[in-house]
Structure 1
Amino acid sequence: MPVNTQAFSEADGQFTSFRHAAFPDHKIRVKSDVTLCDNTVKQHVGYLDVGTDKHFFFWFFESRDKPDSDPFLLWLNGGPGCSSLTGLFMELGPCRMSENGNGTVHNDHSWNNKANIVFLDQPVDVGFSYGEGNEAVSNTKEAAKDVYAFLQIFLQTFTKYQPADFHVTGESYAGHYIPQIGATIAAGNAKAEQVAHQRGLAQQSLRPEDLVTIHLDSLAIGNGLTDALVQYKYYPDMACDTKYGPVLTNEQCDQMRGKYETCASLVQSCYKWKTPFACVPATMYCNNAMIGPFQQTGRNVYDVRTDCAPGSKLCYPILEDIEAWLNLPAVQSELGVDRAYQGCNFDVNRNFVMQGDWPLPFQQLLVPLLESGVRILIYAGDADYICNWIGNKAWIRALEWSGQDEFENAEDVDWKVGRTGKVGGKVRAHENLTFLQIYEAGHMVPYDQPEAGAEMIETWIQKKNFA
């Protein structure tokens, strides 16, 4: 285990704990003898502990290719309140849940084919993460601080990943998380580089209290909720879109369009004041007006082509299979966990809503990142309703940055997936901003289109062109 001598460790039962002087209230507990899911690669599982009250579970897999030099990815699922292990076992991890739900099968299209990847359950009380006392996190900004502390301790513990390009990836409500995490990393990097400059020392000469520079190369958001003001406007267009057959009638869609002015006024107040008093009413009204009519049909909000599976909490039976498998005593014993796994915690979701976090404007955080050279990929499966591609493309086009006009005038061109030999979508790009519409995929692109999802991420992290 390559450990930085600047980080200090201690035995903690079946875990080894590592701390960082800059974060006296934080430590990570690591267990590295795990062989579940993919026994061909090195794994680390454990917790980020914040004081005695907050405990964030993580699961790390080395790259199947060149772990010493391949990029490093963080993956986050959304909700808010849903476990990133959904991404691991349903979408892009080294294994997937088997059809009968009693084990896992190898995933040939895992994103760790060409990258080291960590799945993090956050905020607390999500997945295997847990809180004690009154330390629940109910807003994106606070959640990002804990993620940044985790990355600092992890990278100063496992030093070989420090030089790697770092990518923050995720989907859905991660359209909130990822811009905030990117901004937090950028601020931390500026602080680290200022200290190093003042001391006239390279990063290799770190003191225990120093921050490591995280080589933030890109953000990649899949079917995200990022700019509610723009995105709410396009729900009627998606509900009556003809590609997969309209779900609602033209009359119903027109009624939804008639409610957008009120929705927009409420969201604009939220954007201005950023308080629960301003933002909670926007969430309640807009969700009822723009999402409610679709939900009443019984169709799957994550895939307009299908109905929700009967009896499934979130339309997909595989989610119950994942919960059942992760709650097996033998699995929990190997992971070193001692609590029930819950795929989505609706109390966490409700807390974020009641804190007014849902309609906040996170697209604004992307502009300074773009201007500093961070690459940003927004991708969207075009069968998703809840965070549909039409709204995602619209907010990207509306984003005010130095390349806005050029991006607006750029062409949409076909993206051919080499793995399948088919056109897998359309891409529009200018400089370091890219939008990718992916055909025949819903909210969870790697689940519906695993070949396209894998090729997309490998093309992106290897800095190749999509077209």
Structure 2
Amino acid sequence: MEANLEKCLKGISECNELGPGRPPLGYHCRRAAVTCESLLVDPITKTGTSVYDLRVDDGNEEDLYAFELGDFEDFLNLESVQEHLGVSKWWYVENEEVFEVFSQYTTYDTTHFVTELLNKGMKVLVLNGDQDYVTNSLGTLKWLSSLKGTEKYGEKLGRVPTKNLDYGEGQLFGRLWASKYANGAKLAFIEVCTIGSTRDVTEAGHCPALNKPLGTQHVFNKFLSGELWDRA
């Protein structure tokens, strides 16, 4: 897989040939998405392991959710619920046609737009579960550390000491990187994990809100209030 990384990176470069913030090149993006998935994602899938949560087999992600989801498609299509919401159209969990059109752009580099938000002095929070392979925390921290606009956002974030982020009665949510800038911008990254633990149900995969719902709500409120950066 490591040897195939260069082929994937070459495809990503072609997808983004027009430069940061410019439109993606559709044909190259589609080809890059197929190339990267076949070389870097399929080998994991073929082992039977979930790429959304490396702790479980593919399709068993719900085993590690903190609660049972239930059938929300049926719920949202109940006549009583639709009347309450003031809607009448059938609600679908997923539209495959839309998903296929969107997924071809998974190799499009959108970090330029994150930099734009920071240049405008806004708050940005990025959050990943440590057991997620698809949007993995190592890759996320790498691109975050490269962000550069009117301030050296990534460089400063990479230098800050990490802190344990707790919620409730001393329950650990994960590790926090948080930095503030002269233009008023705030940037934070959270790796949802259990530090020093074995593989257990308190870590998080692709859906941290389902693995750690109370912790996620706690962090979201701290993001809105700006408290995430109180000690930054």
1:263 pairs with 8, 19, 32, which one?
8
Say if 2:52 and 2:134, in contact at 8 Å, map to a contact too.
yes
1:438 matched to 2:187? The reply is no
1:378 pairs with 111, 123, 126, which one?
126
Post-superposition Cα deviations, 1:336-395, rounded to whole Å, max 9, x if no partner, equal 333322111111111224xx4221111111213212211111111112121111111111
Which one-letter code corresponds to 1:325 in the other structure? F
Tell me what 1:463 maps to.
226
**SS of structure 1 residue aligned to 2:145:** helix
Q: Percent identity?
A: 25
Say if 1:420 and 1:451, in contact at 8 Å, map to a contact too.
no
Q: Which has the larger radius of gyration?
A: 1
Q: Which runs of 5+ in 1 are unaligned?
A: 1-255
1:15-164 mapped onto 2 (5 Å cutoff): none
**SS of structure 1 residue aligned to 2:55:** strand
**SS of structure 1 residue aligned to 2:127:** strand
Distance 2:176 2:94 in 1: 32
Tell me what 2:170 maps to.
421
Distance 2:68 2:134 in 1: 19
Distance 2:135 2:157 in 1: 21
1:364 matched to 2:112? The reply is yes
1:351 matched to 2:63? The reply is no
Post-superposition Cα deviations, 1:35-68, rounded to whole Å, max 9, x if no partner, equal xxxxxxxxxxxxxxxxxxxxxxxxxxxxxxxxxx
TM-score using structure 1 length: 0.41
Tell me what 2:210 maps to.
447
| 1:322/1:400 CA distance change after superposition, 3 Å | same
Say if 2:178 and 2:228, in contact at 8 Å, map to a contact too.
no
Distance 1:465 1:349 in 2: 33
Which one-letter code corresponds to 1:433 in the other structure? L
Say if 1:319 and 1:343, in contact at 8 Å, map to a contact too.
no
Which one-letter code corresponds to 2:73 in the other structure? E
Which one-letter code corresponds to 2:205 in the other structure? G
1:391 pairs with 117, 121, 139, which one?
139
Which one-letter code corresponds to 2:119 in the other structure? E
**SS of structure 1 residue aligned to 2:3:** helix
Q: Report deviation, 1:457.
A: 1.0
Q: Report deviation, 1:283.
A: 0.6
Say if 2:45 and 2:58, in contact at 8 Å, map to a contact too.
no
Distance 1:267 1:396 in 2: 17
Which one-letter code corresponds to 1:357 in the other structure? Y
**SS of structure 1 residue aligned to 2:71:** helix
Q: Report deviation, 1:307.
A: 2.3
Which one-letter code corresponds to 1:262 in the other structure? K
1:321 matched to 2:71? The reply is yes
**Number of corresponding residues:** 206
Distance 1:361 1:333 in 2: 41
Which one-letter code corresponds to 1:391 in the other structure? G
| 1:409/1:298 CA distance change after superposition, 3 Å | same
Say if 2:157 and 2:177, in contact at 8 Å, map to a contact too.
yes
**SS of structure 2 residue aligned to 1:272:** coil
Which one-letter code corresponds to 1:359 in the other structure? T
TM-score using structure 2 length: 0.79
